[in-house]
Structure 1
Amino acid sequence: MVSTESGAASYATTSKTDFYQLLELPSSNAPLTPSLLGKWYRNAALKWHPDRNTSPLAPELFNLLSVARDVLSDPATRVAYDNARNARLAQKRRNEAFDVNRKRMQQELESRERG
């Protein structure tokens, strides 16, 4: 997994994992204090701890929780993560818009071919 802070920063900008969703934080725009982050981390850690959760995904998710806490607790790393996350979300919205247009054009073409 990630062993150093620079490794966490690098992982944060390349990972497709949504750390806010993983920690079940209410919003990525809300102020994130260390105590609030700790509270949400503890709740998620109890949920995904391999000793308590028998899911085959539990060990991996439990490790990701530590990475998420490390990334979101460091202001500079959090900014880098947020920028990469926002870029991924914007790309996803653009792709969805393209898919809608592509489907509409396909339907128009099929209707012209039938008519």
Structure 2
Amino acid sequence: MTADQFEARLAKVRHRFATALESKITDTLVYADRMSRGEPSSLTLVSESYRHLHNICGIGPSVGFAATGEAARAAESALLRAMAEKRRPTDSEIMTLKEALAHLRSAAASELRMMYQRGG
């Protein structure tokens, strides 16, 4: 594989990551609201939210979104205990998650702006 081919593939992965990022953050915020109401599906929502965030943590830095990955890790850690204990997050954990998601959204927006300014 040539360097140009690698860059083209990386650009596709980066674009796919970037286009899904906002919806994953929004979905996780919606899930946090539903978890705070104690919906019966809270355990599923914890798992789905954790999966979204874990994917952002893993892929983000690899495709040039280091700050986004770091912010996602903070949000992910807000769910870690509830996930491990297979329970609904506490009100405090949900508040921490929402604050971390606000930071994640800000970091992602900043890195997306930079990506588009570079033409990527």
Q: Report TM bin, short chain.
A: 0.3 to 0.5
Q: Please identify the structure whose Cα radius of gyration is greater.
A: 1
Q: More helix by proportion, 1 or 2? A: 2
